[in-house]
């Protein structure tokens, strides 16, 4: 199967950013920047997994309430695991859809793609439906699994709202640092990507290259 990625994820995100920034006042832009810097400084708990680390096993519910276990997936092939902040995050939605676009190539390498966020199950279900996602999307309420893989950020007070609280069902205001990991069948991390700037995401082409090296 020929592997092609027509438009890079970086280009998609940058196009959205430019369009969105054009709708904001200078004051709003400055406020967003200040909030982002505050969130980065609040990074928190633990370190992200690195290449060569063992991937902790887990079981989480998917959008339909079915439990999904990492060990079961690894018995079939490598796993691409991506952590995202929530349905409200446009950069996350772009990433989830970009990975959906390469799902046939991932599966051609016997891989399984899985996305995880701390959202409540109802919002995970909405993410799947609105994004037309056909791979497992799991709810990690309380970031219990995320803490074992990536860093946890505390959302600045200026960014908090009742609307956002509804997504998570608590007032911890904790978000996973978006990250993507490719895990081999031996349970070892083969590729690890976590960026402190949440608009930077791992390119789909890099995921495919990591899987190609495992084939």
Integer CA distances (angstroms), 120 to 62, 78, 112, in order: 11, 27, 22
pLDDT value, residue 36: 60
pLDDT value, residue 157: 81
Q: State the DSSP H helix or E strand holding residue 5, giving kind and residue range, or none if neither.
A: none
Q: How many residues does the chain have?
A: 215
Closest of 118, 77, 84, 88 to residue 100, by C-alpha: 84
Q: Which residues of the chain fall short of a pLDDT of 70?
A: 1-6, 20-46
Closest of 183, 201, 19, 9 to residue 106, by C-alpha: 183
pLDDT value, residue 5: 47
> 135 is written with which tokens?
């791979």
What is the three-class DSSP state of 114? strand
Q: Classify strands 59-61 and 179-183 as parallel, antiparallel or unpaired.
A: unpaired
pLDDT value, residue 15: 85
> What fold is seen in the domain 9-214?
Glutaredoxin (3.40.30)
Phi/psi for 190 (5° steps) reads -100, -25
pLDDT value, residue 19: 73
pTM comes to 0.86
pLDDT value, residue 12: 87
pLDDT value, residue 23: 62
């Amino acid at each position: 199967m020929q592997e092609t990625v027509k438009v890079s994820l970086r280009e998609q995100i940058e196009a959205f950013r430019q369009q969105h920034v054009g709708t904001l006042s200078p004051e709003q832009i400055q406020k967003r920047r200040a909030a982002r810097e505050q969130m980065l400084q609040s990074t928190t708990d633990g370190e992200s997994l690195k290449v060569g680390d063992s991937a902790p096993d887990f079981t989480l519910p998917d959008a339909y309430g079915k439990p999904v276990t990492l060990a079961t997936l690894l018995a079939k092939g490598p796993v691409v695991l991506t952590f995202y902040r929530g349905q409200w995050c446009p950069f996350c939605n772009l990433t989830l859809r970009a990975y959906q676009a390469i799902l046939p190539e991932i599966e051609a390498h016997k891989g399984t793609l899985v996305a995880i966020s701390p959202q409540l199950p109802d919002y995970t279900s909405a993410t799947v439906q609105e994004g037309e996602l056909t791979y497992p999307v799991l709810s990690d309420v309380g970031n219990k699994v995320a803490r074992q893989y990536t860093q946890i950020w505390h959302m600045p007070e200026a960014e908090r709202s009742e609307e956002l609280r509804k997504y998570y069902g608590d007032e911890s205001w904790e978000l996973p640092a978006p990250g993507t990991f490719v895990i081999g069948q031996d349970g070892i991390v083969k590729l690890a990507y976590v960026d402190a700037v949440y608009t930077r995401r791992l390119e789909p082409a890099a995921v495919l290259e990591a899987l190609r090296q495992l084939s």
